[in-house]
Amino acid sequence: MNLINVKFPKLYWVISAILVITGIMMIFIGTIRAKADREKHLISQIESFEHISDLDIHLTEGDIYLQKGEKDSVCTVEFINISDSVEVYSENEKLYIKDDSSFNLQFFNFGFFDFVTSQIKITLPEQEYQQVMIKLNIGNCYISHLQCDIFDFIFDVGDCKIDNLQVQNDCNINSGTGSIQLQDSHAGKTNLKCDIGDCNLENFETEYLEIQSGTGEVRLKQITTQNYFSVDSSIGDVYAENLTCSGNTRLEVNTGDCNIQNSNFSGDVTGSFNIGDVEFNHIKLEGNLDLTGDTGDITVQIIDNPDNYGLNCETGVGDIYLNHVKTKQLATSQNAKYQIAIQNDLGDIEVNFSE
């Protein structure tokens, strides 16, 4: 009995180890075979539609590609590995792509199963469309060279990359979990909301721009707004350069740094910052500047004559600098053309001018 009691556990662990190693090898072999055979299981179908002026797309899962075709061509829709529950039809010059089924586990495939991601590739004739509505539960979306009057895009999980988007009026993009990348585009009134993920805009012109970010970075480059500009970030850094804002600007960052570089503001600028450093470097300001900070340093460098600005700066714990010179208080003429008011609870305040 003693001999059995001693050797049985050792044998048990040896058998368990062999089974685990065998399972890992089987998964590895299955993964390699799935990747090698994936192209063999592609199911592709193409349909054509004429006289399309609106799009209404509602998909549960899959990737969407929307691209420009020839000017006088027809609209083509290519389906790759699409579920039978997807309906595609046109009615009153509107293209409908609908799917009311539950999502497919193939979106979460990590190579262990022989799945192919569903794809829809839409090629549109070069023209201006009235309304484009896209709702995607799970998947990525790639849009290039689209012209429309109204653009509405809602996606729950996935990334979107958009370039050369021309929207005459309202442009609304709402992301649950995933990044937004928008470049080389123009729109009327623009609202971007990203709950979890980064928001990147480059070379974008709009009359009105409002950005709401939950968790993630906001990165802006070469942005032009004609009437109003607003960024509201809960957790994440905000970085912007080469902004041209003709109307009022509002910045609100809860947790994260805010860095504005080489930008022009032709209106009032207000900012509220909770935790993080704030920098306005090499900016031209034709309006009032009102910044409030909780914890972090605030630095402002303005390219202009200091006589054009009245200053009122206070900090609870920290130092105050004017043109790199430390001062106890910073309060100047209230009759100047523009006013700069900076209040900070914990952190330094520095204001510099250069002509």
DSSP letter for each residue of 69-86? --TT--EEEEEES--TT-
DSSP element (H, E) containing 24: helix 2-37
Upper half-sphere CA count for residue 109 (Cβ side, 13 Å): 21
pLDDT in the model for residue 210:
97
Q: Compute the 3-state secondary structure of the chain and give helix, strand, coil in percent, each to the nearest 5.
A: 15, 65, 25
| Residue 198 identity (one-letter amino acid) | D
> CA-to-CA distance for 41 and 213, rounded, in angstroms?
39
Given a contact cutoff of 8 angstroms between Cβ atoms, the answer to whether 297 and 281 are in contact is no
Structure token pair of residue 120: 């829809």
How many CB atoms lie under 10 A from the CB of residue 46?
11
22-33 tens-digit pLDDT: 766 666 555 454
Given a contact cutoff of 8 angstroms between Cβ atoms, the answer to whether 137 and 60 are in contact is yes
pLDDT in the model for residue 112:
45
CA nearest to 188, candidates 162, 245, 227:
227
pLDDT in the model for residue 38:
42
Q: Which residue has the tokens 């350069």?
A: 241
Given a contact cutoff of 8 angstroms between Cβ atoms, the answer to whether 328 and 300 are in contact is no
pLDDT in the model for residue 21:
75
Residues in the chain predicted with pLDDT less than 50, given as ranges, are 1, 3-4, 6, 31, 33-41, 103-115
Q: Record the pTM.
A: 0.83
Q: How distant, in Å, are the alpha carbons of 93, 257, 339 from that of 79? A: 20, 44, 59
Quick one: DSSP state of residue 92?
Answer: T
